[in-house]
Structure 1
Amino acid sequence: MSRLGTIGAKLYRGEIGYDFVGKRKLWYGISILITITAIVGLAVRGLTMGIEFEGGAVFTTDTRVSASVSEVREDAEKASGHDAIVQQLDGGKMRIQVAGIDVKESGKVQKQLAQDLDIPVSKINADLVGPSWGETVANKAWTGLAVFMVLVVIYLAIAFEWRMAIAALIALVHDLTITVGVYALVGFEVTPGTVIGLLTILGYSLYDTVVVFDSLKEGGKDLTKQTRWTYSEMANRSLNGTLVRSINTTVVALLPVAGLLFIGGGVLGAGMINDISLSLFVGLAAGAYSSIFIATPLVADLKEQEPAMKALKKRVLAKRAAAAAKGESVEDDSAQDVGDESADAAPAGAVVGGQRRQQPVRGRGKRR
């Protein structure tokens, strides 16, 4: 077995672990700080909406342009009187995006660009985009997001319980807020590709969370019948037990997305790939973080408010205090507690604590 597999097995058995739930106030503080930073960036800088949402024109050269990207940008802004976004394509071609101009203005800008770049007008293609199309896309995206949220809450409430549904919803909003905030701070354009990426990360964001919740559901069965762990401790054990799996799935998902972002978008300059991959990369990383540090601790906080779990916590702490007063080890006392409960519940002939209990056989050894 590999080293990672050995660590995973020890985490699953509870032999090693990290107290994620016990340090939840620290994670809450970090998440609040990140979220506030994202909201401030969104409020101050705002989102850079693509031409699909604002309307305008896209000019693409069919031939190589000798001018640099910055020079082409200056020429386009002088010709149009609006801010321009310029992207260099394969073969030295240029893609010039100017928002807020109509059909008449686009013709003038096209001619002026041809003159400034010293290329024929026929070598510059002009595509006009109306803002109504982008508004339709945005409205459908909001509708899809609302429907998705409602369905997720209903499913989690039925499959698990309402507390887990609330925690998953908070984690999901946390991930979306961070992703949108990063877009505002970095200054990337919000395009239909961005919308596709945001809608895609919704499922990825919930994947690890649902895996941990399933483990919580199994560990919570008959939890009040023992005095070894509180709910928070059981939740932490479940989280550690699925930790390696969560890390593996996240890394496997992030690697190809990182390739699209840094190679496809950064090196090759693929615009649509850049838009989708950035939202996926940030969303996947935020989703992995929230499933471990936010969702499970929130469930533990909500569950600890139940009267049954409060009573369980008092019994667990009282038993540990009694064991400490006797000078006994808490682990030994807990193990004995579990062994006693198992022995009381086990039928004759069952294996308890590594020993087999058998009913005495009467008449054994008698001669006929």
Structure 2
Amino acid sequence: MARGGFAQWGNDLYTGRRSYPIIQKRRVWFSIVGLFSVASILVLVFQGLNLGIDFRGGSEFTVSGTSNTDQDIAIDTVAEVVPGHEPHVTQVGGDGVRVQVSQLDNDQTTALQNALGEAYGVETSEVTANFIGPTWGQSVSMRALWGTVAFVLAAAVFMAIYFRAWRMSVAAIVAMLLDVLVSAGVYAVIGWEVTPSTIIGFLTILGFSLYDKMVVFDKVRENSVALTEQTRSTYAERANLAVNQTLVRSINTSVVALLPVAGILFVGGFLLGAGTLKDISLSLFVGIAVGATSSIFLATPLDVALREGEPKIAAHTKKVMDLRAGLVAEGADESMLAAAASGSAQLVPGHHQGHTAQPKRRR
């Protein structure tokens, strides 16, 4: 799409001249989200996450100052010296190799240390051996868990106060947690090791996801000012307008965030083989993509589903639909009915609606 065409498309979405029935098809999105959620749970239960050495414990060897960083050398050496121990090998910088295996005894550690030095053509003193216990990883996991719980509770309270609607808060929190669930499921399918960097990436996902949903919900709140004082559109229709109005912003923000993360993932994960870059960039890439999608297709539709259960909103929706049915019976112009159904009838094109600008009817 040309630059001018994209700008015009975004302007049409904002003014309501063009509208996609996202809220109206919420049952479809709920079904898709449910499918992905169940699939993620099944993958996590039956396949599980590939926990790194920081969580399961083991022995770690670092070869420094080598001119050859071929990872196959380490894999073959481990298979020859300590068969049965599947290694995890990563490149460290430009002249180092890190080898992680399950826990070895003292004799096995010495033998593998000497063999790695010989295989990579360096002195044995250039090969360091360390034992890493699982306690540190478990401590990080527990702190991350408690930090997540505190973050979710604080976010829920803040949104409930800010939007003066606990249903918006519930919708955002549910969508945000499902973002992490689906991201973890994707991570389990790919099979990359879960490291502390991965946990940091998952926690970062929560912040991005919450920010994106706050922007959409703020527009929903603006569009629903004095909702029950008019009879041209329902809450669902005004929420649908808000989603369409923020669609371009969501796309632009996500693309801008994904491009550098994709670069880090490609360079760090596939060219350099840098474990830390690979671990955090994959979790960020998947989480940002899922979070942006859920803001459009899950959070706001879920908010509408919850709000339509309120007696006041339900009564207003029924009133609008009854009046619209009466207009159909009287043979009203189809374009006017379509405009009302899209949620655009309450705005004059180009007119900004907010707390200080009440919705205006067309003359």
TM over 0.5: yes
Q: Hey, what does 1:260 align to over in structure 2?
A: 264
Amino acid at match of 1:8: G
Q: Secondary structure at the match of 1:59?
A: strand
TM-score by length of 1: 0.86
The answer on whether the counterparts of 2:73 and 2:119 sit within 8 Å (CA) in structure 1 is no
The TM-score with structure 2 as length reference comes to 0.87
Q: CA distance change for structure 1 residues 278 and 100 in 2, over 3 Å: closer, same or farther?
A: same
User: Paired residue for 1:17?
Assistant: 19
Count of residue pairs the alignment pairs up: 342
Paired residue secondary structure (2:298): helix
CA shift digits 1:289-335 (9 cap, x unpaired): 11000000000001111112222222222212211112111544788
Partner of residue 199, structure 1: 203
Residue 39 of structure 1: how far off its partner (Å): 1.6
Aligned to 1:2, what secondary structure does the other structure show?
A: helix
- Could you say which residue in structure 2 is the equivalent of 1:250? 254
Residue correspondence of structure 1 range 103-122 to structure 2 within 5 A = 105-115=108-118, 119-122=122-125
1:315 match = 319
The aligned counterpart of 1:84 is 87
Corresponding residue for residue 365 of structure 1: none
1:208-228 per-residue CA deviation (whole Å, 9 max, x = no partner) reads 110111111112221111111
1:73 to 72, 75, 78: 75
Higher mean C-alpha displacement, 34-43 vs 122-131: 122-131
Summarize the Cα distance change of 1:49–1:102 in structure 2 as closer, same or farther, 3 Å threshold: farther
Unaligned 5+ residue runs, structure 2? 348-359
Mapping of 1:171-250 within 5 angstroms?
Answer: 171-250=175-254
The equivalent residue for 1:275 is 279
Distance 1:312 1:291, change over 3 A: same
Relative to structure 1, the CA distance from residue 225 to residue 36 in structure 2 (aligned partners, 3 Å threshold; closer, same or farther) is same
Preserved CA contact (<8 Å) 1:320 1:330: no
Conserved 8 A contact 2:91-2:272? no
Which position in structure 2 is the counterpart of 1:357?
A: none
Match of 2:156 among 153, 156, 178: 153
Q: Residue 129 of structure 2 aligns to which amino acid in structure 1?
A: A
Does the CA contact (< 8 Å) of 1:54 and 1:100 recur in 2? no
| C-alpha contact (below 8 Å) 2:63/2:117 kept by paired residues | no
Change (3 A) 1:215 1:67: closer
Judge conservation of contact 2:159–2:166 (CA < 8 Å) in 1: yes
- After superposition, the Cα gap between the structure-2 partners of 1:353 and 1:318, relative to the gap in structure 1 and judged at 3 Å, is closer
Checking the alignment, whether the CA contact within 8 Å between 1:172 and 1:287 is kept in structure 2 is yes
Q: How many Å separate the matches in 2 of 1:112 and 1:137? A: 33
Structure 2 distance, partners of 1:329, 1:5, is 30
Q: Percent identity of the aligned residues?
A: 43
Structure index of larger Rg: 1
Of structures 1 and 2, the one scoring higher in RCO (CA 8 A, sep 6+) is 2
Q: Give the root-mean-square deviation of aligned CA atoms.
A: 2.4
